Structure 1
Amino acid sequence: MELRQLTYFEAVARLGGFTRAAEQLHVAQSAVSAQVRALESTLGVELFTRTTRRVALTEAGELFLIRCRRALDELDGARHDLADLAAVLTGRVTLGATAVVGGFDLPGALSRFHARYPGVALSLRSGLIAALLAELDAGTSDLVVGPAHADLPSRFSAHRIAREHVVLAVPPAHRLAHGTAPLPLTELSEESFVCLPAGSGLRSILDEAAQQAGFEPRVPFETHTAASIRELVASGLGVALLARTAAEAPGPAISIRQLRPAPLHPEIAVIHHRDHRLSAAARTCRQQLIDHATGA
C-alpha cells in the first residue's frame, strides 16, 4: 500500500469521479484508475462501484475512507510539525525584558532554550515596559517579558508567569531604615521620592499609593532605571517604591521595609502583539518561557 494510492482514492471519493480527481491531482486519469485498482487488489475488496454514469463508494470503501483520511491528516500534520521544527532550528527571536521580572528566572529560561535550539539567533533587549511595547508595535521585537499593567492595550496578549511585590527602599541611615513591622503609607507623606518619570508604570504605582494615603508625593529626583533609583536612594537623596526584585538585586546598600497597605504590582507576563504572527522560533521560545515558569 502506497501513500499515492491513498491520496488518489481519497480524491476520487471526495470529488465523485476519476476524471475530476485526475484534474485536481494533475495526472492522467489512467494513472488514477490504475492506482485505485492496485489498492483494491492489496485490500482484497472493491472500494467503488463503477458504472458508465457514476462512481460510488461501496460499504467497504466508506469504512476505508474514514481510516484513509485519518492517516492522510496525520501525515499532513507530521509535515507541518517537521516544517515548524526546521523553522525553529534556523530561526531568529528578539526578546525584550524589563529589569523587573519577579521571581521568574529569565537567564535560566533563556539558557534552557539556547541549549535546546542552539541554531536560533536569540537577541535580548532591556528597557522600560513602555519602550519595549513600542518595539512590539513596530515589529522590531517578538516577545516581551515584563509587568502586564491593568491598562495594557488589547492589541497585546499577556500570559502571566510570575508575581512581583512593591517594597520601600530607604538609605541605610534613614529614620525608617530599621524595624520589622510594615510601615503605614502615611509615614511617607513628608519624604522626598526617587522614581521613574511620569507616565511610567512605577510612577503610576507611587502616585496611586500616595493618593490613597492622602498625600501628593514629591519627586525631586527622576531617573530611568531601577538600578539608578537604588543608587540614588543609597546615596541618601530620597526614598523609593521599588519592585522587590530590584530592591534585592546586587547593588549599593539600602534598607527594605514592607508597607501597609502594600501597593499592588502588576504580574509579570510574556507579552506579544496579537496582530503580528509569531514565527515558529518565537512561538517555541514563548512556550519555553511559560513552561520554565511552571516547571514543565
Structure 2
Amino acid sequence: MAIMALGLSSCLKDENIENLEYGINEDAIESNRIIELPSASGTHVIAASFVPEDKDTVFSTLTVGLASKEPASEDITVNLTLDNSAAIIDNWNEANGGELVGFPSDQFSIEGGLSVTIPRGSRSVTTPVKIAFNPSALLEAQYALGFQIASVDQTGYLISGNFKDMLIQFVAQSAFEADYSFTSVITGGANTTTTEDVYMPTIDATTVSKDGIGGYFSGYTEYTFNEDGTITVGAYADATKGSSYGATVVESSYDDNGFHVKFTILGGGYTFDETAVRN
C-alpha cells in the first residue's frame, strides 16, 4: 500500500498546541518538533489489502514522522503501542457506523517490536512495523488494529494530539486492484484529455480508489464494480469523503482487461469519459 506523504499542516493545526495542553516544553513548541503518525487523507485509517491465501505473510505498514521546520538532527526513537487498540476501533465504529473487530492476538505477531527510529537527517521512517499473519484467518470478520504513539526516547519532542494514532483495517485484496493506463476525456466545464498511469488500491472486495478526478481535479475517486456489470463512481474533495462532487454514472462496463465509465459531476457541469486498461 502507498502509505502517506508527510507535511507540516498537521502540526500547524494541532489543537493541543493551540490550546497549550502540552505543558511547558517551550523549545519543542517553538520549533514544531512534533512526532506523529501522518495521514495525507486525514482519515486516520490505512486499508491493508492482502491476498487471501493459506500461508503466512508479512505486511509492512505505518509511517512515523517528524513534523518540524528542519529534518531530524539526531536519531529519534519512537515507541508505539497496541494497548489502546480496542478503544481506537470502538471510536471508529461509533463515528462511522462500522463493524470492525480487533485482530485476534493469537493470529498475528509484530516482527522487530514496536520501537522505530526516525534517522538523523530525515523527517520520517516508512513501513517500520511488520505484521506477520496468515491471511486465511482474516476472512471471518473485518479485522483491524489501532496503533498509538506511546513515547519518544529523546527529549525536546512532542507527541501530536491530532495524529497520535492510526487504524489499520485488513481487507481482502480486490480483484480490481491493479496498475492501469488511464485516459479521461473531459467535456463541459473543460474540454481536454488527460492520460496517466495509476495504481488503484483496494477499498473493499469490489471497490478500488484513485487519487484525483479524471487527472484534472484534485480530489479522490472510488470505483465500485457491481455484479450486474456496471460501475458506481464516487467523486469527492478528498479521501475523507466529507464533500462530494455528486458523481452520476451515464454508462459503464468492465472486463478482465480493465473498464470504461462515463460520469458527470457538479450537476452535469463536467463529464468524464474514462477508459482504464490494466498494465
What is the TM-score normalised by the length of structure 2? 0.20
Between structures 1 and 2, the one with greater strand share: 2
Between structures 1 and 2, the one with greater helix share: 1
Structure number with greater CO (CA < 8 Å, separation at least 6) is: 1
